[in-house]
Every structure is written in structure tokens, then in C-alpha cells.
Amino acid sequence: MLKVIKKTRIYQEVVSQIHDLIREGKLKASDQLPSERELAETFKVSRTSVREALRALETQGLVVSRTGTGTFVADLPIESLVAPLATLLIEEKSALADIFEMRKLIEPRIAALAAERATKRDIERMKGILEKQKEEVDRGATGVEEDAEFHFVIGRATQNQALEKLVSGLMDILSHSREESLQTPGRSQASLEAHYRILSAIVQHDKEKSRLAMLRHIEQVEENVFSDKNKEIPIRSSETQLEERRTS
């Protein structure tokens, strides 16, 4: 049954446009929005409509209003996602398998986006981190700090603050299992070599190669972690094998 088309209220159009700016990264966490007057002039609407839009955005948690200073884009609440994951991992050891599954879904896509957006500065930083990791591994250390930093910089190279925070949180909650894994004989060297493959793909700005290199890396880490715990690894996907055949 056909329904009457409702006319969109002006303030909702303002909300929609600011939503788009935040989603596209043109407005980032902690950025200050223009004044009500400037927004009204930009959007060609009344200041009343602008105030209504800002109230709606604040209710949604996307902006915060600070008396005397203005309106700012709210910090993205990634921490509210990471904290429950950390608690789950502590309370239920079986949650580690779920977190690895999540990593395989998310981090390869992050690596692909990094390959598309990484700047020369991002790439130089990655190279510097791997040089430090190599020095640590060569002297018999795990290189766990450099290992985590490499993943973090890949997150930063996406130019997406939400993804950057997500990767940082994941590295924090997995720090203990990663430290244990890297102490396995040969594991630190294998991790370093996997990182170089990921870096090589990012340097080439090859999104698919970067995605696949990250996926293989996480699968290898997962296999190592669970073999140490004498547990079977659930076979959730044969994507790596399919990709290998496809790219061979």
C-alpha cells in the first residue's frame, strides 16, 4: 500500500551531511565544528535548524558541546568495544578462538586499505619498525613490542581513526598470548618474515596481495597458539588455499 511521502525536515539534512563528513574522515575525532552562524551560512539554513541538528548529533553521541568553546566531534567509542573483549578473553579461554576469527575477518581488510592509503611516511615508519624487530630477533629476543607496533602502524596507515583504535585495542588484549607465541622456537623469525611480506605488498599498493599476506600471517599465528595449547583448530575457511590456487 502506498504511503504519503513525508517531507524531510531541514535539520535532518544537516545531520545527514555532518554524518557523511565524519564517515568519510573529513571530520575527525576532537575536530571542532564551525560556529552555528558559519554552519547556517554554509548550509543556507536558519540557526534554529543548525541548533536542532547539533542537539540530534549530540544525542547520538557523535558530537559534544563544550560551554564557551564550541562543538566538537566526539572521540570514537572503540574502547567500549575493546573492553568487553578483554574481559571475555580473561574469563573464557575459549574466547581466544573467537577473537582469532574476528582478526581474520577484520585485519586483512585493514591491510588492504592500508595498501591503498599508506603515505611514504607510513611506509618508512613500517620499515624502521621491522629493522628494530630484526635486531631484537637476531639477539634472541621476541621483538613483541615491535611486532605490536607494526600492526598498529598498519591501522594508522588506513587514515581511519576507528580502525586505528580497534587495532591498538586488539594488540593490547592479545599481548599475553602473543608474548607466549613469540617465545616458541622459530616463531619470532617466522613473524618477522610474514611482516616483511605484508610490507612488500603495501609498498606495491597491492590491496589483494596485502589482504592475503595478512590473512596468512594471522592463520600461522593462530595455528601456533593453539598447537601450544594442544587444542584442535577449527577449520572455518579454506580461503587461503583457494587464493593460493587462484594466484599461482
Q: For position 163, what pLDDT does the model report?
A: 85
Q: How far is CA 30 from CA 63, 71, 76, 161, 242, in A?
A: 9, 9, 9, 11, 43
Q: Is the domain of 176 the same as that of 229?
A: yes
Domain-embedded: residue 56: yes
Q: What are phi and psi of 66, to 5 degrees?
A: -115, 115
Q: Give the separation between CA 76 and CA 227, rounded to whole angstroms.
A: 36
Q: Are 85 and 167 in contact (CB under 8 A)?
A: no
Q: Is the domain of 50 the same as that of 170?
A: no
Residue 231, pLDDT above cutoff 60 = no
Whole-prediction pTM value? 0.61
Domain end position, chosen among 48, 73, 98: 73
The range of the structural domain enclosing residue 53 comes to 10-73
Q: Are 106 and 166 in contact (CB under 8 A)?
A: yes
Domain end position, chosen among 19, 46, 73: 73
Q: For position 189, what pLDDT does the model report?
A: 93
Q: Are 60 and 76 in contact (CB under 8 A)?
A: no
- Give bridge partners of residue 64 from the DSSP assignment: 72
Q: Is the domain of 46 the same as that of 83?
A: no
What are the residues whose beta carbons fall under 8 Å from the beta carbon of 66, sequence distance 6 or more? 72
Q: Is the domain of 116 the same as that of 67?
A: no
Q: Is the domain of 150 the same as that of 190?
A: yes
Q: Which of 3-7, 123-127, 137-141, 227-231 has the lowest mean pLDDT?
A: 3-7
CATH of the domain at 231: 1.20.120.530
* Conformational region of residue 160, where left means phi above 0, alpha means psi within -120 to 50, and beta covers everything else: beta
Q: Is the domain of 36 the same as that of 152?
A: no
CATH of the domain at 64: 1.10.10.10
Q: Which residue has the higher pLDDT, 16 or 211?
A: 211
Q: Is the domain of 143 the same as that of 24?
A: no
Q: Is the domain of 143 the same as that of 160?
A: yes
Domain-embedded: residue 4: no
Domain-embedded: residue 163: yes
DSSP conformation letters of 149-168: HHHHHHHHHTT-HHHHHHHH
Q: Give the separation between CA 98 and CA 208, rounded to whole angstroms.
A: 24
Residue 105, pLDDT above cutoff 70 = yes
Domain-embedded: residue 50: yes
User: What mean pLDDT comes out for the span 212-236?
Assistant: 74
Domain end position, chosen among 22, 57, 73: 73
Q: Is the domain of 57 the same as that of 107?
A: no
Q: For position 26, what pLDDT does the model report?
A: 84
Domain-embedded: residue 3: no
**Total number of domains constituting the chain:** 2
Instruction: Spell out a b/e string for 152-177, using b for 16 or more CB atoms within 10 Å of the CB, else e.
Output: bbbbbbbbbbbbbbbbbbbbebbeeb
Domain-embedded: residue 5: no
Q: For position 164, what pLDDT does the model report?
A: 83
Residue 46, pLDDT above cutoff 80 = yes
Q: Is the domain of 175 the same as that of 197?
A: yes
Q: Is the domain of 216 the same as that of 238?
A: yes
Q: Give the separation between CA 194 and CA 245, rounded to whole angstroms.
A: 19
Amino acid identity at 134: K
User: What mean pLDDT comes out for the span 100-107?
Assistant: 90
